[in-house]
Amino acid sequence: MRNAPPPRHMPRMPGQKMDWKAAKRLLSYITKHYKLRFALVLLCILLSTLAGVAGSLFLQVLIDDYITPLLGNANPQFAGLLRAIGWMAMIYAVGVLSAWMQNRIMVTIAQGVLRDIRNEMFAHMQALPIRYFDTHTHGDTMSRYTNDADALRQMLAQSLPQVFSSAITIVTVFLSMCFTSLPLTALVLVTVSLVLVVTKKVAGNSGKFFAKQQKALGDVNGFIEEMIQGQKVVKVFCHEPEAKAEFDRRNEALCENATKANSFVNILGPINNNLGHLQYVIIAIAGGALAVFTKSISLGKIATFLQLSKSFNMPINQISQQMNSVVMALAGAQRIFELMDEAPEADEGYVTLVNAKEENGVLTESEERTGLWAWKHPHADGTVTYTKLSGDVRFYDVDFGYVPEKTVLHNVTLYAEPGQKVAFVGATGAGKTTITNLINRFYDIADGKVRYDNININKIKKSDLRRSLGIVLQDTNLFTGTVMENIRYGKLDATEEEVYAAARLAGADGFIRHLPQGYDTMLSGDGSGLSQGQRQLLAIARAAVANPPVMILDEATSSIDTRTEAIVQRGMDSLMHGRTVFVIAHRLSTVQNSDVIMVLENGRIIERGTHKALIAEKGKYYQLYTGAFELE
């Protein structure tokens, strides 16, 4: 598998539809654990919004009831005003308290829901079949954990409460405006819709240029990635001037698009702001006209209305901005749910692997580790039989294809007896790795039969089947942690002595001891800092510590020089003495001492036999060996 590039994700553009199904499912996560708290949040939002609106209305009371009547009064009484302010202060206090409670509780809900979704997604991912990972790029899956989860977080923590409070504000402010002055309210409706039309137009333009900017950015980033990857080649060929020129061209295009896209976004603020001011002026003039010509409106009412009209514009803008991120977050949620809805790896196996002891030739189950393993096979009639785990693998007429339309293995029949070393040789794509994918049931066969210790492999529980197999792959994947932890991955309760022994066996002990902190050296970033060969040695040690009865080595020594390989091979041979080993190798010297070599071509076994026999046969293997054919 080629390593996927780091996740890079285009932000979704406006204009997408709201995904109600995802919204409902997301809501179910909130109500599952946080029902009461969520209700409380809604109540708090209502209270704090009402307190804000009450503030705007208070202005009218202040002017009309406590200021205008007292004007010209020689001995004004402020006791009433003080009382009113006291009441207002209490309303405000409730509002502030609600706002704080709302924010605080929402943090718990948002972070909690995110954690639940994240953990569920990862646990589900672990249960997915290998097919899923082979058919989806890592970057794509990764972005569900990063971009999509992040969009979700923003929506839960910010957009959701804001949309609620904006909606409540709009309704209450609108009602208050109607209550204050109907004609002015009609005027506000007209101006607000005009403002909306203008902003929509500008936002649409910015969306268009943003898409272009994103494309240009992808272009520049792609170029940077390719050049930096191949930087050493660039240097060897003195290709720097050409790289710079090409970079400049793409960089210039990006700059141009970025300027346009950002210009539109930047002017959105001033437009909203100043059109808001303009609306304010228009209302003031209209209100003034009403007051002057019809005397139907008081000064306090005009002041209040002006204040209200300001608090009407803001939430409308906010909602239209937030809607975008809500739609984006829901699209992200949908992608996360998609992953969660992928069918997990099916496992109908019921034969399990148990520790066993042998008494008078009869196998019985044992509590402690005996070093002897047996398959526990419960039958329909209630009896249980035990079969010794010995590593006998047989394929009968197996057909297989990764997709139903394309069969890659045809009629494969093979048998590997305990203690045998079986090698597969053939060109890339001949089906060597596919066979090993079937033994550990990363994939299931289409037709035929695979038996393991004479048990149909489908009856064996997958986890137990895999525990009985050791696998070393060409692409060695190590995990962040110490060398010790990485080797111990093969057997979590391995003692230090066991780890050392496995490392010695794999020929890794020597270089590990030369690392700065020996076995405690931290490996990070997939073991970078180690050479490919050293990583392969660690992977072999990791498999060796598990001490499995069957071992599959898929190009496991391809990056190790032949001399070291010979040493490793000697170690492995002694470890696997009496057990089954499958070897896939590109280097023919690696497989020469196998008990049986199978030559694969286009998914069929075309030759089989020992090295000597195959050489004598003068067939394909002979041609490969003498160099008449290329393997890749």
Partner 1 sequence: MDLIKRLAKSIREYKKDSILAPIYVSIEVILEVLIPLLMATLIDDGIDVGNMHHIVKIGLILAVSCVFSLAFGVLSGRSAAKASAGFAKNLRRDTFYRVQNYSFSNIDKFSTASIVTRLTTDITNLQNAYQMIIRIAVRGPMMLIFSFAAAIFVNGKLSTIFLVLIPVLALGLYLIMSNAHPIFGRVFKTYDRLNNVVQENLRGMRVVKAFVREDYETKKFTDVSDSIYKDFSKAERLLAFNAPLMQSCMYACILLISWIGARLIVGGSMTTGELMSFITYGMQILMSLMNLSMIFVMVVISRASAERVAELLDEESDIQNGENPIEDVKDGSIVFENVNFGYKRNICLHDVNLSITSGETVGIIGGTGSAKSTLVQLIPRLYDVSEGSVKVGGVDVRDYDLTVLRDSVAMVLQKNELFSGTIKENLRWGNAEASDAEIERVCKLAQADEFVQKMPDKYDTYIEQGGSNVSGGQKQRLCIARALLKKPRILILDDSTSAVDTKTDALIQRAFAEEIPDTTKIIIAQRISSVEHADKIIVMDNGRVDAVGTHETLLDSNEIYKEVYASQVKGVSTNA
Binding to partner 1, residues 608-627 (CB under 8 A)? 611, 626-627
The piece of 14-22, 31-39, 298-306, 448-456 that touches partner 1 (CB under 8 A) is: 298-306
| CB contact set of 181 (below 8 Å; sequence gap of 6+) | 287, 290, 297, 301, 305
Residues 410-439 that bind partner 1 (CB under 8 A): 421, 428
Q: State which of positions 262-291 bind partner 1 (CB under 8 A).
A: 262-263, 265-267, 269-271, 273-275, 277-278, 280-282, 284-285, 287-289, 291
Question: How far, in Å, CA of 137 to CA of 405, rounded?
Answer: 22
- Which among 391, 355, 380, 419 has a CA at the least distance from the CA of 577? 419
Whole-angstrom distance, CA of residue 573 vs CA of residue 575 = 5
Sites for partner 1 among residues 456-515 (CB under 8 A): 463, 466-467, 469-471, 473, 475, 477-480, 489-490, 492, 511
Query: Dihedral through CA 45, CA 46, CA 49, CA 53, nearest 10?
Result: 180
- β-strand partners of 430: none
Report how far apart the first and last C-alpha atoms of the chain are (Å, whole number): 16
CB neighbours of residue 599 within 10 Å: 25
Site for partner 1 in 190-229 (CB under 8 A): 217, 220-222, 224-226, 228-229
530 three-class SS: strand
Q: How far is the CB of 382 from partner 1 (least distance, A)?
A: 28
| Element containing residue 313 per DSSP (H, E) | helix 299-341
Neighbours of 73 (CB within 10 A): 8
E runs forming strands in 427-491: 447-452, 455-456, 469-472, 481-482
The Cα–Cα gap between 568 and 189 comes to 82
By the 10 Å C-beta count (0-12 exposed, 13-18 middle, 19+ buried), 40 is classed as middle
State the nearest-atom distance from the C-beta of 397 to partner 1, in Å.
26
Q: Which stretch binds partner 1 (CB under 8 A): 329-337, 383-391, 527-535, 601-609?
A: 527-535
Q: What are the start-end ranges of the E strands in 67-201? A: none
Smallest separation, CB 627 to partner 1 (Å): 3
Residues 308-347 as x/- pattern, contact with partner 1 by CB under 8 A:
----------------------------------------
Closer residue to partner 1 (CB): 228 or 343? 228
Residue from the set 13, 18, 36, 130 that interacts with partner 1 by CB under 8 A: 130
Residue closer to partner 1, measured from CB, 89 or 178: 89
Interface with partner 1 in residues 565-584 (CB under 8 A):
565-566, 569-570, 573-574
Which residues in 229-268 are b (16+ Cβ under 10 Å) and which e?
Answer: eeeeeeeeeeeeeebeeeeeebbebbeebbebbeebeeeb
What is the DSSP-derived secondary structure letter of residue 507? T
Between residue 34 and residue 63, which ones bind partner 1 under the rule CB under 8 A?
48, 55, 58-59, 62-63
* Of 103 and 411, CB closest to partner 1: 103
Q: How far is the CB of 548 from partner 1 (least distance, A)?
A: 10
Among 23, 40, 46, 125, binds partner 1 (CB under 8 A): 125
Pick out residues in 528-547 that bind partner 1 (CB under 8 A). 528, 531, 533-534, 546
In whole angstroms, how close is the CB of 114 to partner 1 at the nearest point? 8
| Among the listed residues 341, 348, 497, 561, the single contact to partner 1 using CB under 8 A | 561
Name which position in 13, 123, 522, 613 contacts partner 1 (CB under 8 A).
123
- Out of 589, 602, 616, 618, which residue is the one contacting partner 1 (CB under 8 A)? 589
Contact 311, 169 (CB under 8 A): yes
Query: Interface residues for partner 1 in 233-262 (CB under 8 A)?
Result: 233-240, 242-244, 247-248, 251-252, 254-256, 258-262
> In whole angstroms, how close is the CB of 244 to partner 1 at the nearest point?
6
Decide: is 602 part of the binding site for partner 1 (CB under 8 A): no
- C-beta of 21: minimal distance to partner 1 in Å? 26
C-alpha to C-alpha distance for 214 and 257, rounded to whole angstroms: 9
Please report where in the chains the tokens 């001033």 appear, as a residue. Answer: 270
272 or 390: CB nearest partner 1: 272
Q: Which of residues 350-389 bind partner 1 (CB under 8 A)?
A: none
Q: Of 12-20, 108-116, 328-336, 366-374, which segment contacts partner 1 by CB under 8 A?
A: 108-116
SS (H, E, C) 30-87: HHHHHHHHHHHHHHHHHHHHHHHHHHHHHHHHHHHHHHHHHCCCCCCCCHHHHHHHHH
Q: How far apart are CA 443 and CA 438, in angstroms?
A: 5
Minimum CB–partner distance for residue 329 and partner 1 (Å): 17
Restricting to residues 87-106, name those near partner 1 by CB under 8 A.
88-89, 92, 95-97, 99-100, 103-104, 106
Decide if 587 contacts 558 (C-beta within 8 A): yes
Nearest to 629 by CA among 582, 581, 588: 588
Residue 122 interacting with partner 1 (CB under 8 A): yes
What are residue 482's DSSP bridge partners? 522
Minimal distance in Å, beta carbon 19 to partner 1?
24
Q: Which two tokens stand for residue 365?
A: 């189950």
